[in-house]
Structure 1
Amino acid sequence: MALDLIPDHLREKYEVHEWKHACAILATDFPAEWNDLLALLDDFRLCQSWITSGGGNKSRVADAIDRFLVARGWREKKFDTAVTVDGVQKDSPTHKVDCFKNRVALEVEWNNKDPFFDRDLNNFRLLFDLRAISVGVIITRCDHLQTIFNRLGRGSSYGMSTTHMSKLLPRIEGGSGAGCPILVIGISERVYAEDC
């Protein structure tokens, strides 16, 4: 099983799913990026203060993940894409990928509206079909974190129409990522920390 490529202690801390051999592709063809992802998962803590403080344009969770990966050479990336039919070129715009390195695209969906998953999966599909990426990775939150949010008085800020695992999995299982290998990582209560 390809998920066995993820060390046991990390599989115990996160909810992990893959499609189309994403782990094997990452570990074999992109070992540096794979090691970056494993190091990120090993290092990451979900700080209570990130939940209790108000939001903004970018969540503290996404910012922490971005900073960790940027220090390892990952960058936000916009792709300029177009389709040519019978000599007529039409732009085929994509949205920026949160973190990109060497054909691996990573999106962090912490507390956005759930249609952001459709945008991400469509982007992965298009970029994979155009041979611009080889694997897509999405980091989101596990459903059971709602209990912690409720206990901290922030439950209404993390509603059912926001991005979380049970909103993502049916989309992927229904084929929204098409042929793109996808790795999904769910942030769980096992990485929650009150003192960071």
Structure 2
Amino acid sequence: MLDRLREIGFDVGCYHHADALLSGAFPGAMEEIEDTLAAFKLPMSSLIGSGGGESEGTQRLRRELSGRGWVKRTIQVEKTVVTFEGTAGKKSYTELGRATVASLSHEIDHVKSFEAGTILLEIEWNNKDPFFDRDLENFKRLHADGAANIGILITRGQSFEDNITAFVKRYAENHELNSLDALTAHGLEPTRRQQNDIDRAVVRAGGFAAGWAAAFVSDKYASSTTNWAKLEDRMRRGVGNPCPLVAIGIPSSVIVED
């Protein structure tokens, strides 16, 4: 399951029998996910212009999933206490009272229901890493309540983390971004704090392109943000257990240098 994504560089992890469940009960779901991710491309200009946040590329990924029926949903779980006399299902049954004693809502960005059940999917491109804990806890609770069968999390892959600085440096060289003024002329407006960080990084790197790339990545893709290593660590520790889970890391091969 998901071998096509692995072959083109995606990180893929399946936990708590998610692979067996997907292949046996949800083959169409994974085909949709594979087709969408295999076609995904992220222009470097979009990544730079977004300042590290969700770029037009990742927004397109969300729209593509939504177009396939993976849409945002709020799922509300209520606990109801019913008081009755007699025997449930029999003529003697008489309901005496009913009250909702607890209600909890979960907003999930991408939800799709199939004949075999419901799958939840979240994309965490560049949030603070505690968002993983929130998502996995939502998956766990909704699975326990019978509202979901599988949870899927998509984030930046390990090769993206390993190679993004080189991509940013090459972008700077290709676009002659060799000074703070050149960044401004290119439509980028670093704050005073960022300018100071760039100046220090340039001195350490011995060149503007390398220094700016290091400062940009450190500022926008810090190790405390959502990435494959952070997600994999949580999976290994059993966060979200026992909900069947799929983790997917987007590789650097999706980047288009423009």
- 8 Å CA contact 1:98, 1:106 repeated in 2: yes
Indicate the residue corresponding to 2:123 in structure 1. 108
**TM-score by structure 2 length?**
0.67
User: Which residue identity lines up with residue 5 of structure 2 in the other structure?
Assistant: L
Q: Say if 1:123 and 1:62 are closer, same or farther in 2 by CA, change over 3 A.
A: farther
- 8 Å CA contact 1:144, 1:188 repeated in 2: yes
Q: Tell me, yes or no, if structure 1 residue 142 matches structure 2 residue 157.
A: yes
* Cα RMSD after superposing both structures: 2.1
Q: Name structure 1 gaps, 5 residues minimum.
A: none
More helix by share: 2
**Deviation (angstroms), 1:59:** 4.0
Equivalent positions of 1:169-188 (< 5 A) are 169-188=232-251
Q: How many pairs were matched up?
A: 189
Deviations 1:120-148 (A, max 9, x none): 00000001001111000000012342344
CA–CA distance in structure 2, aligned partners of residues 36 and 88 of structure 1: 38
**TM-score by structure 1 length?**
0.87
**Deviation (angstroms), 1:25:** 1.4
Q: Say if 1:21 and 1:123 are closer, same or farther in 2 by CA, change over 3 A.
A: same
**Deviation (angstroms), 1:55:** 4.6
Deviations 1:43-84 (A, max 9, x none): 112321232112598543441221111111121111111234
User: Which residue identity lines up with residue 109 of structure 2 in the other structure?
Assistant: D
Q: Say if 1:101 and 1:141 are closer, same or farther in 2 by CA, change over 3 A.
A: same
Instruction: Tell me the SS of whatever aligns to 2:141.
Output: helix
Instruction: Tell me the SS of whatever aligns to 1:117.
Output: helix
Deviations 1:157-191 (A, max 9, x none): 11011000111112122121111100111011222
Equivalent positions of 1:1-196 (< 5 A) are 5-7=1-3, 9-12=4-7, 13-55=9-51, 58-84=54-80, 89-94=101-106, 96-102=107-113, 103-151=118-166, 152=168, 153=213, 154-155=216-217, 156-195=219-258
- 8 Å CA contact 1:82, 1:92 repeated in 2: yes
Structure with max Cα Rg? 2
Q: Name structure 2 gaps, 5 residues minimum.
A: 83-98, 169-212
Instruction: Tell me the SS of whatever aligns to 2:121.
Output: strand
Q: State the percentage of identical aligned residues.
A: 35
- 8 Å CA contact 2:70, 2:111 repeated in 1: yes
- 8 Å CA contact 1:124, 1:133 repeated in 2: yes
User: Which residue identity lines up with residue 226 of structure 2 in the other structure?
Assistant: T
CA–CA distance in structure 2, aligned partners of residues 31 and 97 of structure 1: 22
- 8 Å CA contact 1:98, 1:107 repeated in 2: yes
CA–CA distance in structure 2, aligned partners of residues 59 and 190 of structure 1: 16
Q: Say if 1:88 and 1:99 are closer, same or farther in 2 by CA, change over 3 A.
A: closer
Q: Say if 1:57 and 1:79 are closer, same or farther in 2 by CA, change over 3 A.
A: farther
Q: Say if 1:194 and 1:75 are closer, same or farther in 2 by CA, change over 3 A.
A: same
